């Protein structure tokens, strides 16, 4: 496949290596200083850029009939607009807050556990996410995905980074040098606690998942997530 990388930072570079290993060509790299570019002859674009650029990058692909895989976080207020544009253009759009297989399995465990805990009022929930110090958004996109499933399955109405209301739970976002991504969901009662935790050891899992998603999306039309690629959940 001919791949365009929209964002050539930490993730873009790891994705490049994996895509080449899997026999693909990186024919375009777009970064903050790119003045203009053409999407001609691109089979699929992969966007790992910055929150302020994601909507423009995704729209540009959809408007040029280029399938787009997006892993950028921190722009989801505009997700429904991108879904609408994809439908209007009969395009191909796949977003995932986390492309690693392990986290997508973790998402399913979180759904199951929150379903069980939803009927246990003696437990309260909290979440902790840890990432490297260059991360622009907090909490992480992955933490927001986990939180949305907890809210669906329990009586919690929302989350806050600080000072949650009684009906909300706290997401603690820590920034520590070089941490690729750790997420923990903790249920606490007077008598015990249950926690589930995912620890990424590097960016390889995110990047491999994004390339697999791009291979999967290339000849499909519609709006998808990593659940569709992995056929889980
Ligand atoms: N979904 C996942 O699995 C996953 C995994 C890791 C990171 N991420 C997300 O991916 C994004 C990128 O992460 P990173 O660690 O590579 O960050 P990074 O800061 O290392 O790289 C981002 C790159 O985007 C470039 N950029 C800025 N403006 C741009 C524009 N208009 N068009 C294209 N590129 C532009 C920057 O110059 C930079 O090189 C973040 O939002 C992060 O949260 C998602
Ligand atoms: O390094 C990052 O930034 C990451 N972002 C994603 C998120 O916000 O959940 C995935 C984990 C790494």
How many Å lie between the centroid of ligand 2 and the Cα of residue 89?
Answer: 29
pLDDT at 96 over 90: yes
- Count of residues in the chain: 233
**19, 26 Cβ separation under 8 angstroms:** yes
pLDDT single digits (tens) 2-41: 999 999 999 999 999 999 999 999 999 999 999 999 999 9
**200, 102 Cβ separation under 8 angstroms:** yes
What's the mean pLDDT in 180-190?
98
CATH 3.30.360.10 in the chain is located at 101-199
CATH 3.40.50.720 in the chain is located at 2-99+204-230
pLDDT at 226 over 90: yes
Interacting residues of 112 by C-beta distance below 8 A, sequence separation 6+: none
Q: What are 174's strand-pairing partners? A: 130
User: Sorting pLDDT into bands at 50, 70 and 90, what band is 233?
Assistant: confident
Rounded Cα gap, residues 180 and 14, in angstroms: 13
pLDDT at 209 over 90: yes
Pick the CATH number of 2-99+204-230 from 1.10.3720.10, 3.90.1150.10, 3.20.20.150, 3.40.50.720: 3.40.50.720
pLDDT given at position 34: 97
Identify which of 66, 63, 60, 65 has the alpha carbon closest to the alpha carbon of residue 2.
66
What's the mean pLDDT in 189-210?
98
Q: Which of 11, 51, 135 to mutate to test the pocket of ligand 2 (most atoms within 8 A of CB)?
A: 135
Kind and range of the H or E element at 146? helix 141-153
Structure tokens at 223: 């709006």
Rounded Cα gap, residues 105 and 209, in angstroms: 13
Identify which of 175, 174, 151, 171 has the alpha carbon closest to the alpha carbon of residue 163.
171
Ligand 1 neighbourhood includes 72 CB (under 6 angstroms): yes
Ligand 1 neighbourhood includes 96 CB (under 6 angstroms): yes
Question: ipTM of the assembly?
Answer: 0.99
Ligand 1 neighbourhood includes 4 CB (under 6 angstroms): no
Residue with CA nearest ligand 2 atom 3:
135
Mean pLDDT across the chain, nearest whole number?
Answer: 98
What's the mean pLDDT in 190-195?
98
- In CATH, which superfamily holds the domain spanning 101-199? Dihydrodipicolinate Reductase; domain 2 (3.30.360.10)
- Judged by DSSP in three states, 129 sits in strand
User: Sorting pLDDT into bands at 50, 70 and 90, what band is 126?
Assistant: very high
β 193-199/182-188 pair status: antiparallel
pLDDT given at position 110: 98
pLDDT at 51 over 90: yes
- For the annotated catalytic residues, the residue numbers are 131, 135
Ligand 1 neighbourhood includes 156 CB (under 6 angstroms): no
């Amino acid at each position: 496949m001919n791949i365009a990388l929209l964002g050539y930072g930490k993730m873009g570079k790891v994705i490049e290596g994996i895509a080449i290993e899997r026999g693909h060509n990186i024919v375009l790299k777009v970064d903050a200083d790119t003045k203009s570019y053409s999407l001609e002859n691109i089979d699929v674009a992969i966007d790992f850029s910055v929150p302020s650029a994601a909507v423009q990058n995704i729209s540009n692909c959809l408007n040029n009939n280029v399938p787009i895989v997006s892993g950028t976080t921190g722009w989801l207020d505009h997700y429904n607009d991108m879904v609408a544009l994809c439908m209007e253009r009969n395009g191909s759009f796949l977003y995932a807050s986390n492309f690693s297989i392990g986290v997508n399995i973790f998402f399913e465990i979180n759904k199951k556990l929150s379903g069980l805990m939803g009927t246990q009022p003696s437990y309260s929930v909290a979440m902790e996410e840890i990432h490297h110090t260059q991360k622009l958004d907090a909490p992480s996109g992955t933490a927001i995905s986990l939180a949305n499933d907890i809210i669906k399955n329990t009586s919690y109405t929302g989350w806050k980074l600080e000072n949650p209301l009684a009906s909300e739970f706290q997401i603690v976002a820590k920034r520590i040098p070089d941490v690729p991504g750790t997420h923990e969901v903790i249920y606490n009662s007077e008598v015990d606690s249950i926690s589930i935790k995912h620890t990424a050891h590097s960016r390889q899992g995110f990047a491999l998942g994004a390339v697999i998603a791009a291979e999967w999306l290339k000849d499909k039309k519609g709006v998808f997530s990593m659940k569709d690629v992995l056929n889980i959940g």
